[in-house]
Chains A and B, each alone.
Chain A
Amino acid sequence: EAAVTQSPRNKVAVTGGKVTLSCNQTNNHNNMYWYRQDTGHGLRLIHYSYGAGSTEKGDIPDGYKASRPSQENFSLILELATPSQTSVYFCASGDGLGGGDTQYFGPGTRLLVL
């Protein structure tokens, strides 16, 4: 059973619309992350969280909000989607132990903003 799941797996949105991407983890990890990956590039960190109720800005937070209502769930919210946000989004959870964090990734969500 996959420990990190994402929904939806694919999404088509219109410019200016609201998009919510959801992530659930059963690893009981404190840390959760949202990344985007554009073609031919590595992952870039959007938002992350140290636990329920906490959200922190990553490297590219503009145009995105995040919500961590519980240990298991971490959402990424695009209030006003733009075509530049077309990308593949990955959620991850991490144990944050020992001064370093081994992260476990979900399957990704492909978002197309028209």
Chain B
Amino acid sequence: GQQVQQSPSSLVLQEGENAELQCNFSSTATQLQWFYQSPGGSLVSLLSNPSGTKHTGRLTSTTVTKERRSSLHISSSQTTDSGTYLCAIDRGNNNRIFFGDGTQLVVKP
């Protein structure tokens, strides 16, 4: 079965609204990363957050390790936030990362 499941699969917001993206994983993770993939395809790491809460700019990630879930909160969304957000876990035994299928976010002006 799939190691990482993300929800929702897609999300449409008006500019200024907040977004809440979810990531659930089926095995213990020693590392969890959130990535942003632009509409052009480039991948950028946003946050590494294996446990607890982490902030960067308008992004907040909260990972509850024992419940095998993580969330990414985007506050005051902007049209430039549009793209796909990917969650990935590393179980730490051989440095292999497993990706979810992503949440496609569209922020309308």
Q: Which of B41, B42, B44, B97 lies in contact with A101, CB distance below 8 A?
A: B97
**How many A-B residue pairs lie within 8 Å, measured between CB atoms?**
62
- Per the CB 8 Å criterion, the residue count for chain B at the interface is 25
Within 8 A of A (CB), among B1-60: 4, 30-31, 33, 35, 41-45, 48, 50
Q: Which residues of B contact A (CB under 8 A)?
A: 4, 30-31, 33, 35, 41-45, 48, 50, 86, 88, 90, 92, 94-102
Q: Residues of A contacting B94 with CB < 8 Å?
A: 56
A48 to B, closest residue via Cβ: B96
Q: Which of A13-45 contact B (CB under 8 A)?
A: 31, 33, 35, 40-45
Q: Is the CB of A104 within 8 A of B97?
A: no
Interface residues of A (CB under 8 A from B): 31, 33, 35, 40-45, 48, 50, 56, 58, 88, 90, 94, 96, 99-105, 107-108
